[in-house]
Amino acid sequence: MSKIRVLVVDDSALMRKLLTELLNSDPQIEVVGTAMDAYMAREKIKKLKPDVLTLDVEMPKMDGLKFLSNLMRLHPMPVVMVSSLTEKGADVTMRALEIGAIDFVSKPKVDLAHSLDDCAEEITSKVKVAARACVNTMLRQKSAEPVRPSQLNNGATPGSEGGSGTYSTTDRVIAIGASTGGTEAIKDVLMGLRPDCPGIVITQHIPPVFSSSFAERMNQCSPLVVCEARDGQQIRPGHAFIAPGDQHLSVIKDGARYRCKLDSNPPVNRHRPAVDVLFESVAETAAHNAVGVILTGMGKDGAKGMKRMHDAGAATIAQDEKTSVIWGMPHAAIEEGGVDHVMPLGRIARQMTELAAHG
């Protein structure tokens, strides 16, 4: 089996050296070259034909976003962004995922070599996932993405009562789980919803800082009021609540209301937040009054939780293989026996709305 050929693009000589050593330590990966800027990277892509690019967000001469945009237009290939753990870095990284990057890893803040060693498994695993990802699937979805100017949330702010009317109770809830490729898949689903849909709870595998930026972007482009979930927050129709990075999100019942519950319990399936934690709580609290949706992602997180939702009477949906960047999580849920409907990403918003309305 041939190794995954990687080109490392970063303006820091130390980062290039450390990433090269780290990636080469995995027997399935070979760093075939490095580049300090976009122009050098462009020439080395032509010459070396790498399978995956790791790309620094901030570079001289041409920044990472502009280079990524040109790359996806002229020579689409899997890209893993290397981003700083800052608010600015998070916003730029979210934009990179919109353009077509498969995933991202965070640059350590302190003790660079030691921190990189600690996250070795994350970096190598994400490069391996990127090598298997369907880049063209992502780009086709973006080019076909409909414009819905009438579905703006009219300036409603996260946590407000505006944008979709005022509600005191709700008897239905929709739970969505995703990982690799999920930020754009979730965006597609949310943009296709009516502003009076049932309350939505979302777990996307994402680290702290980035989850806040992601929620803000979803609030800007969706007809719903979207926010990063807070502990005890009431789940209202017309609102979507995204699990904060590094905290599990659950749903609890408070009389006739559903509320968000956050905790820092140990990772489940090596993730915090974990989709299984969300789905299992929804199975227990909402049962047949729930709809579960599992989208693109690597691994099996959410499969057992979706089976519990299914067995409790909830309607369940999985994204199909053709439109998934990585068909790991949806496939695992199907094999677990907990999926009622398998369909393309573009049909999921309508289907889950109908299921929520009619049971």
Q: How far is CA 254 from CA 147, 251, 279, in A?
A: 38, 10, 18
Three-point CA angle 228, 309, 264, nearest 5°: 40
Q: Is 301 a catalytic residue?
A: yes
Write down the catalytic residue from 106, 164, 179, 324: 179
Tokens coding 238: 């017309």
Q: Which residues pair with 291 in a beta bridge?
A: 174, 315
223 near 191, Cβ under 8 Å? yes
Residue type, 21: E
212 in catalytic set: no
Residue 3 gets which letter from DSSP?
P
The first and second tokens of residue 203, run together, are 């777990």
Helix axes 120-132, 13-24, angle to 10 degrees: 80
DSSP-based three-state secondary structure for 189:
helix
Which is the catalytic residue, given 205, 239, 310, 331?
205
Please state, in angstroms and rounded to a whole number, the distance separating the CA atoms of residues 71 and 59: 15
Clarify whether 248 is annotated catalytic: no
DSSP string covering 249-307, please?
A: EEEEEETTEEEEEEE-PPPBTTBSS-HHHHHHHHHHHTGGGEEEEE-SBSSSTTHHHHH
Catalytic residue, from 56, 91, 103, 301: name it: 301
Q: Which residues are catalytic?
A: 179, 205, 301
